[in-house]
Every structure is written in structure tokens, then in C-alpha cells.
Amino acid sequence: MTSLSDLPLRDNLVGQQPYGAPQDPVPVSLNVNENTHPIPDEVVEDIVQSLARAVRGVNRYPDREFLELRESLAGYLGHGLTAEQLWAANGSNEVLQQILQAFGGPGRSLLSFSPTYSMYPLLAAGTDTAWIDVPRPADYVLTPELVTAAIAEHAPDIVILCGPNNPTGTVLDREVIRAASEASAGIVIVDEAYQEFDAETESAVALLPGRPRLLVSRTMSKAFAFAGVRLGYLAADAAVVDALRLVRLPYHLSALTQAAATAALRHSGAMLGAVAEIRSERDRLDAALTELGYQVHPSGSNFLLVGGFADPAATFEALRAQGILIRNLSIPGHLRITAGTREETSAVIDAIAALGPGGARA
């Protein structure tokens, strides 16, 4: 049987592993930062009706420019944005891939600060963009001075800042974004996949005026509980959107995706109704694990990075055996846990407590 090593892969893909969080139909799934709360019934009804209408026209290609959806996204974000400043694709990963296709590639580079979202180096490799990995400080918090120094040293073509950062939950200060935008001659992306869970920090969308090379990536997968629909989007200067239209595949957003997302945005208040409850469960999980002696890093997201596990892999497997799936990201001593429903949060707290200090069985 042929293996990967037998194929003429590009050199920069040799030895790479595809992205993949564990998938397991367990009762308590808290490993990929999904919104664990279901979509309200009245919203489901509207989405289903919208899909039914869309299906009647799927013998034709969808609107290639998905203008109704872009207008809805602009209305949701506010800040005076217009449809011409919005873009969307099949998840924010595809949005980021299109950015790298347009502004990265051979001879160009992408810089970010680790630990951060594990897809960034994979997207860089897939577009033959050099990956520059700058370590975060011990508390994971970026400062204007750190970011400015890294940009000056490496002169990257693209910088990506994740805020709140995955997997640490660290909030991204607006002064860091301003510093990166001023220091960089290239593209600066702010990845705001978890922005709606941060009750304190204003979106980087507010910084777009006067910064034509600043891009803000968002998703409907998390706070909107729309992970299965696959809808990511971008707010940026209209010229950036034109650049992405050069690399997107024709008709890349299906009529069904457009209909579902547009309907969901009509009910943004209801769709985001669980966000406050998820924050509350995150804070309850934080307090409980802190009381058990673990180091819980501050988070503006729907998950926590938790340190103090003597053997994270063993703890991960012990919880999995009990039907609880969290995330081992190979950060020494740490595991990442998504805040779930009250019942799910209670289950993971009780299970970790039962394992004893450091996650080892008592």
C-alpha cells in the first residue's frame, strides 16, 4: 500500500501532520471550544424555512458575491462598515487561507506568537509561506514592546494576533494591535474567533478606519453556536476584499450556507443569548479548579487553560475513560477545558476533583 512518503509532496509538507482534535461521541465533549448550548427553537424554525426556500433554487449557482449575507454581517458588526468591507468563507480557517494565498506564498512569511492556534503554521505550510514562531512570555500576555521588537527583527509579510488567544484565553490589548499596525509594512490580522465571549474588550473592528492593512477575522462557529454550518468572515478595507476575490474558488459559499447564516444573523440577540451563561460557567470552572490547587490562566474566551497537572496525558485519558473529552495540546503541565452547560461543567469539576492532586488518581 502506498504511504505518504512514497508521494512527491512539496518539501515543506514532508513530515507534516494534518490538523485533528480527537473526535469521540462521549457524553461530555469539551475539547474543541464549541458552544454547547443549542440554537433556540424559534431561530431553528426560521433557518429551516430559509433553507427550504434556498433548496428550490439550487439547480442554479448561488450568488457568487453573497451580497445579502455581507450586508447582514456588516449590520451585525456595526462601526459604519459596509458590505464592500466584509468577506466570508467556509469557516475562518478558509478566510485565513485566502489571506495567505493573496498576501503570503513563496518568499513571504507569517509571524505569530506561540502558544497560539495550531492551524496557523499548517496554513502557512499549505500556502508555502515561511512560518516565524515567536514565544510568548510566561504569562502569555503580549505587549506593544514585544510585538514591535519581533516585527522589527523578522520583518514578516503577515502578522497574526489571536485575541482572545487560543489556547491560552489571553485577552489582546488594543495598544498591541495599534503597535503592530504601526510597526508592520505588511498585513496585520486580528483573529477574533472568540471575541463575543470577552465582555471587557472592544473589537478590533473599531481600529479599522485609517488602517488599510489591518484585517479582523471572525467566525459564527463559537458564540453563534454555528460550528457545523462553517461560516467565517472578515472585516477589512474594501481593497483587501477585492484581493481575496482574486484567490477564492468560484461560488465558494453554497446557497444553503448563505441562507442559514443570513437567517441566523436576523436573530443575533437570541443566538448570543447563551454567551453570558457560558461566561458564568467558565468563571465557576475557574473558581473550582483554583480551589483544587490548579493554575488557571485568565481567559476572555469560552475555555480555560489550566496548569498544575502532574501528567496531562494520563489525566486526559482518565477523563476520556469517564466519557469526558477535553484537550491535551502538549503544553507541559497544562490541559484546555471548554466551558459547557452547567451539567457538563459540574461533571468535569467532579471528575478532576476525584482524580486527586495534580490529576493523579488518589
User: CB–CB of 160/189 below 8 Å?
Assistant: yes
Q: Are residues 334 and 230 in the same domain?
A: no
> What does the pLDDT look like over 100-123, one tens digit per residue?
999 999 999 999 999 999 999 999
Q: Are residues 248 and 129 in the same domain?
A: yes
> What does the pLDDT look like over 127-157, one tens digit per residue?
999 999 999 999 999 999 999 999 999 999 9
Let me know if residue 355 belongs to a domain.
yes
Q: Are residues 256 and 278 in the same domain?
A: no
Q: What is the pLDDT of residue 216?
A: 98
Let me know if residue 336 belongs to a domain.
yes
Q: Assess whether pLDDT exceeds 90 at residue 17.
A: no
End residue of a domain, out of 269, 295, 327:
269
- Bridge partners of 338, per DSSP, are 303
Burial 90-105 (b: 16+ CB within 10 A, else e): bbbbbbbbbbbbbbbe
> Which whole number is the average pLDDT over 185-193?
98
Quote the cell numbers at residue 161: 494576533
Q: Assess whether pLDDT exceeds 70 at residue 362.
A: no
Q: What is the pLDDT of residue 2?
A: 85
Q: Are residues 77 and 217 in the same domain?
A: yes
Q: Are residues 224 and 327 in the same domain?
A: no
Q: pTM of the entire structure?
A: 0.95
CATH code for the domain in which residue 315 is found = 3.90.1150.10
Q: How confident is the model at residue 361 (pLDDT cuts 50, 70, 90)?
A: low
Give me the domain span that covers residue 315. Answer: 24-39+273-359
Q: Are residues 265 and 321 in the same domain?
A: no
> Which whole number is the average pLDDT over 66-79?
98
User: CB–CB of 192/218 below 8 Å?
Assistant: yes
- What is the number of alpha carbons within 13 Å of residue 113 lying toward its C-beta? 29
User: CB–CB of 30/347 below 8 Å?
Assistant: no
Q: Are residues 75 and 170 in the same domain?
A: yes
> What does the pLDDT look like over 256-291, one tens digit per residue?
999 999 999 999 999 999 999 999 999 999 999 999
β-pair type (303-307, 295-296): antiparallel
> Which whole number is the average pLDDT over 209-234?
97
Angle between helices 144-154 and 174-183 (to 10 degrees): 20
Q: Are residues 286 and 255 in the same domain?
A: no
Q: What is the pLDDT of residue 360?
A: 74
Distances (CA, A) of 142 to 149, 151, 211: 11, 13, 21
> What does the pLDDT look like over 298-330, one tens digit per residue?
999 999 999 999 999 999 999 999 999 999 999
